[in-house]
């Protein structure tokens, strides 16, 4: 009997809740024709109450409760009050669930938009770094070609290998650290051809897991900066020392290069350093970057927890 009672009153309640949630509520919450839809809401409440009351008097009482004649008339004040309380309780519960759902959807949409924005910014930063690197390398090839150096074909081949890495690997969220190191080795060998005996380069590696994932091209700007603003601007013999250590997902990367003596010890972010700072902010939750500009040496100390990748 309880099931029959609920089933009999369900259709007008469903219609009212649908009108309330998907026709009236959204328009009442927005500025504009708010007064009109408040009036529509009152009409919907009134129509639903009269319908529920009619079902109670003309169907539930005689058919379900088998009452030949109701002791209370259709226009019974307490009858309308009980129907209003029943309808209001259901409507309030439905509205609360609807607003919670809308808030959840809005937060998910905001999160998705933020993720999309950060991904777009990260792609922009990487795309900005790649032409910067390519421009410098083409300058190197141009210089070798003008001198008609026998190293020119080898430089072009190494450049093609680096570009292949940048085209196909840099679009990934991460690569194996062994692949990142190989790319750095190729870049260093490419630059060493240009500087011949003028430059001494040391690259020390100590890695406990060659498959540890790392964001692609994360370390290249530091190495490129050491060549561009160190060796290329130094009139005498110069050096670049690189130490890369990885243990338990913690990366320690140190690079220092000689430079012309200068009393200006301020640190100026060029395109490469500025980009890598922002990439670290976007990609890793735990990192520490220190840049030190001494009189004749420029040093960079980077520590990153590679397992704190933000997955933007």
Find the CATH number of the domain harbouring 264.
3.30.565.10
Could you tell me the pLDDT band of residue 301, with boundaries at 50, 70 and 90? very high
Examine the domain organization and report whether 69 and 121 are in the same domain: no
In this prediction, residues 56-81 reach a mean pLDDT of 66
By DSSP bridging, strand 213-214 and strand 238-247 are: unpaired
Examine the domain organization and report whether 24 and 167 are in the same domain: no
Total domain count for the chain? 2
Per-residue pLDDT at 238:
83
* DSSP state at residue 63: I
Examine the domain organization and report whether 54 and 161 are in the same domain: no
Per-residue pLDDT at 234:
61
Going by C-alpha positions, the residue among 223, 229, 235, 231 that lies closest to residue 293 is 229
The CB density around residue 164, as the number of other CB atoms within 10 Å, is 11
Could you tell me the pLDDT band of residue 255, with boundaries at 50, 70 and 90? very high
Per-residue pLDDT at 1:
60
Contact 276, 303 (CB under 8 A): no
Beta-carbon contacts of 288 under 8 Å, excluding residues fewer than 6 positions away, are 301, 302, 303, 304
Examine the domain organization and report whether 144 and 186 are in the same domain: yes
Examine the domain organization and report whether 263 and 150 are in the same domain: yes
Examine the domain organization and report whether 98 and 184 are in the same domain: no
Residue after which a domain boundary falls, among 67, 82, 109: 109
Residue after which a domain boundary falls, among 81, 109, 137: 109
Examine the domain organization and report whether 176 and 270 are in the same domain: yes
Q: How far apart are CA 183 and CA 166, in angstroms?
A: 9
* DSSP state at residue 296: S
Domain limits at 16?
2-109
Q: Per mean pLDDT, which range of 65-79, 141-155, 159-173, 218-232 is the poorest?
A: 65-79
Examine the domain organization and report whether 214 and 129 are in the same domain: yes
What are 149's two structure tokens? 């150096």
Examine the domain organization and report whether 123 and 268 are in the same domain: yes
* DSSP state at residue 60: I
Examine the domain organization and report whether 91 and 18 are in the same domain: yes
Examine the domain organization and report whether 93 and 223 are in the same domain: no
Based on the number of CB atoms within 10 Å of its own CB, is 242 exposed (0-12), middle (13-18) or buried (19 or more)?
buried
pLDDT over 80 (residue 283): yes
Residue after which a domain boundary falls, among 109, 135, 152: 109
Within the chain, where are the H helices?
2-19, 26-29, 34-55, 77-146, 152-168, 177-195, 220-229, 271-283
Per-residue pLDDT at 202:
92
Per-residue pLDDT at 43:
79
Examine the domain organization and report whether 64 and 209 are in the same domain: no
State percent of the chain over pLDDT 90: 17
Instruction: Report in angstroms the alpha-carbon separations of 304 from 88, 224, 286.
Output: 57, 19, 6
Q: How far apart are CA 239 and CA 237, in angstroms?
A: 7
Q: How far apart are CA 16 and CA 87, in angstroms?
A: 9
């Amino acid at each position: 009997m309880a099931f029959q009672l609920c089933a009999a009153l369900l259709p007008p309640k469903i219609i009212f809740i649908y009108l309330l949630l998907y026709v009236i509520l959204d328009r009442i919450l927005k500025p504009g024709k708010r007064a009109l839809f408040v009036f529509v809401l009152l009409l919907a409440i009134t129509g639903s109450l009269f319908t529920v009351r009619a079902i109670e008097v003309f169907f539930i009482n005689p058919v379900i409760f088998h009452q030949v004649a109701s002791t209370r008339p259709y226009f019974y004040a307490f009858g309308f009050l009980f129907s209003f309380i029943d309808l209001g309780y259901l409507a309030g519960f439905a509205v609360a669930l609807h607003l919670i759902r809308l808030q959840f959807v809005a937060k998910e949409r905001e999160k998705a938009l933020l993720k999309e924005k950060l991904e777009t910014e990260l792609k922009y930063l990487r795309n900005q770094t790649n032409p910067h690197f390519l421009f410098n390398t083409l300058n190197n090839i141009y210089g070798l070609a003008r001198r008609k150096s026998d190293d020119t074909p080898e430089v072009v081949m190494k450049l093609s290998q680096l570009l292949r890495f940048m085209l196909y690997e840099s679009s990934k969220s991460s690569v194996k650290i062994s692949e990142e190191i190989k790319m750095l080795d190729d870049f260093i060998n490419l630059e060493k051809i240009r500087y011949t005996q003028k430059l001494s380069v040391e690259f020390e590696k100590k890695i406990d897991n060659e498959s540890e994932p790392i964001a692609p091209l994360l370390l290249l700007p530091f190495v490129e900066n050491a060549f561009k603003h160190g060796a290329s601007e130094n009139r005498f013999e110069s050096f670049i020392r690189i130490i890369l250590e990885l243990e338990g997902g913690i990366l320690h990367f140190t690079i220092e290069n000689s430079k012309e003596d200068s009393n200006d010890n301020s640190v100026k972010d060029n395109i490469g350093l500025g980009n890598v700072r922002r990439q670290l902010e976007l990609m890793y939750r735990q990192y520490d970057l220190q840049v030190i500009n001494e009189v004749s040496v420029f040093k960079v100390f980077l520590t990153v927890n590679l397992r704190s990748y933000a997955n933007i």
